[in-house]
Structure 1
Amino acid sequence: MKVLIVDDEFLVRMGLKSIIPWEEKGFTLLGDAKNGAEAIDMFNETQPDILLTDISMPFMDGLELIRILKGKSPSLKVIILSNYDDFKYAQKGIQLGVNEYILKHEISPEKILAALESVTGPAGGSEFPAAAAGRKDYSTQLYHLMVKDNLSEQEKEDVLNTLKKDLQGSYFTVISMLLQFSGTEADSRDLTREETIEKLALETLKGKDFQVFSLLRKNEVLFIVNTSEAGGINERIKKMMHTVKNNTKQFLNRNLFIGISSAGGGLEELRMLYEQSKTAREQSFFSNDIMVCSEERVMEQDNGALPRLDMEQLNKLVKLKDTGRVEKFLLDVFDILYNLQSVAAVQNIFQRLIKDNAELFAANNLILNQQSFGDFSGFEDVRQYVIDVYKKNCLHNERNIHSVHITKSIHYLKKNYSDNISLSQLADYLQINKSYLSLLFKQEIGVNFTNYLNNIRIEKAKELLLHSNYKAYEIAKQIGFDNPYYFSKVFKETTGMNCQEFKRTSASLGHDR
């Protein structure tokens, strides 16, 4: 397979060319281009099979380049390298048929090789004949069978007869994905996010030995999997859904709550399977995992049995600055909520504790960046957030502007910035949930963990560039960048200049930056 590299940074191109033993791994590296125009000329001459390109380039960005080259060769495989984990870039990439994404700060020989092998692996054959058409033609019928209450027996019979003739198997599993529990499920307008997630999931599911039908509603993505055998299918589906969940978080910065039904024996059971998937999806909020429902029946949940919440007593404890009793009070409340296993109950209590108690925060002169319930990745994040807010109220003074976790994080990162630190490692050090720590960074500091750490490192790099004779790649290693080409990219995006330009500009101004 022939590979073409495109990136406007010299160090990036050199790094990519050198870290992979291309020929040994079965690839032919055709060369590298520093911009879209060069890439198009090289493409016309060499006809590569794989394009490895950055998104952010001058004159012609990577997405425009992909669009042009895909028009010339629809079979072209594309791997994107990017610092952007923003929704709009991933969305456009998926629409253009991008096969793999690698974030710049995660570049390694293993990551590059895994992406290359992924796009050159066996295609797996095409989907079953009815699958692609079925997703569009049958969505209304499937929606009626799963959701509608007002179908007559004759209408049900007509829908079943329409569907059965093109189905390949006798067993069905329903996968239910929810973007956030505070959203509205029934609204069908503006499904941009859901369509993108649908494409991510279909890319993962395609070519397997089953049919897949999809159905979109606002905030919800549904799949019906049709198979000829039920044995082991749900564990296979769960493994694939983990990939979808991780990709959605990484590239779209969205949390997905996923529930999988048991394997049912006919279309007549779709309504029950859908209810099972919703129950499993609800459980995923509490488990922080993808849940598979193995029950034949879905038990009714008592969402009305909310824990007693004595706000007057809680606020009195806050005013007394009794941190221990405040924490004990809240832990007892959340223990009851966990046993209820009702997201609606958790959201109700969250509303009362945070949204409806603003006067307490104002009385303590605490500016609270109010968090939307839909931003949390699960039950543990909600519990930790609420407890942190109330403890912060107890301890608040004008100098204390950060929570304990962020204060410790800042101190740790400034001391250990040269180490290979990940968000997971920092979360382990603080003994808190990784996703919750990510949320705290954005709320209290205004940037994500990676950007904050990179800013610390770039400030140190500027000092070393001005006051030492180290070369750029040596500085990169000293401040914690394993890949000098990634350092070069981050430095330019942070300062607006490359290392050489920064040194020249500083020298011409006659002072340090």
Structure 2
Amino acid sequence: MYKVMIVDDEPVIRYGLKASIPLDNGMYELTGAFANGKEALQQFNEQCPDILITDIKMPIMDGLELARHALDIHPSLKIIFVSSYSDFDYVREGLKLGAVDYLLKPTLEPEDLIKLLEKCTRLIQQEHKIQQDLDEHRETQKGLHRKELEQELKQMLASIEYRADPAKWNAAFGEGYIISYGRIHNKKELQEKFGYLYPGIKAEEVVDTFYRNFDRGSMFSLYNSDVILVLPYCKEFESNLQHVKRKLEADTGITLYIGYQKGKVAAHINTCFYQAKEACDIHFYQVSSESYPYVSSFSNDESKTSYLDYLKEAVRESDGVKTEIVKEKWIAEWEKGNKSPDKVKREAGEMLSILFQRKVDIPILLQKMDELTHTETLEELKTLLNATIAQWEMEHPVTFASITSHQQLMEKALHYIQQNYTSDLTLQKIADYSFISKNYFSLLFKKYMDQNFIDYVISLRVKKAEDLLANTSLKVYEIAHKSGFNDVKYFSKLFKKLTGLSPVDFREKAQK
């Protein structure tokens, strides 16, 4: 709808102009009719008209002066002058100001005014289209520049030999930079609930959210669904980083914990990257929802006390007391927080291996060691480690023979899954249904089906979605819900990753 303002000192002309504007067609809105330019100008900022219809000669402030002031306020304003035959010199001056055209009072007809209004709207639409094209071009160019910068950063992190383009680097990070390493909280639980692709899809969503909401900086995800964020340095960088983090979390529904380091020159980006990653590792010891600055805290030196050898010796001697003492001292060493989380997790796996390598089958042992590597905190690791040790010391170890003997149990579980996969089905629920532990069921299922439980459930859901897309006219969000997906955005991304087609494209191809 285009706003129109009328200014004329003659009431009859004002009334005639108002009556000639087709206000009932939804295209035009009358913002006011005034007797002189001064009255109109006082309301101009508030009304902000698109089209001004004004008399040339009026008392107090004439149309030319009004036009000059109005164009200063609103340069793209479209002006139609109304004049008498004797006012042509004024009209010529008005046209020089940029007026669209003029109307003569003695011969004024509604059709003439309507034609000029339509001419004004065409000009406004053309200008809007040009401006939109310019804005899109700028956004495209800005996006290309940011993608180029992202590629520069990836190559710099991949190779210490790579040198950044000085012009691009200085334009983006002339005063220095803040590099952050981020991880998605509870990634293992998200994988168990939604499938192994889910954290990666959420990481891509985090990156997309960043580029939609922030004009400066670069962000990209790594193969393991961690994310890297590089922002220009500023004095308020910590509050700026927190603002970015909170926005990303609010829009994507996930929690990030991040470590960061400041850098000055491009040559140091590789070192700063690893320091930011190390800062992120602090979360393992100091659980917080905030960001972690880099502080050199992890020692690369091997411990002078070799608990690995002590534990081997205690196990070899079948000395239970000595074994417990070594375990406690080894765990106490981790609690000092001097070792990187990766090293602690590796040592926890070695502890399990020494204690149970001759008691527990290798696949079971490897699976538990893998679970240890996915713990996010030391407390979580200790809980899992101690529970595993207690369980394996009490229970008879699972053997390959016992796994293969559970065919009847697995067939019953599969039937239950196939009847309930569109509901909120979890590994714990099906384990409870089967009357065995979650971890044991997970192991049995993978051995029996050669894939993880949640990945199997997702494959059933996707097949259901394919059938509904091909054979119904349901909307995509309805199909997502009926197939067991509560998040239609996640469903669409996952469907495309697994089938190579979006749900809409799949339906078009299937229904041809």
Give the TM-score normalised by structure 2: 0.41
Structure that is richer in helix per residue: 2
Higher-Rg member (1/2)? 2
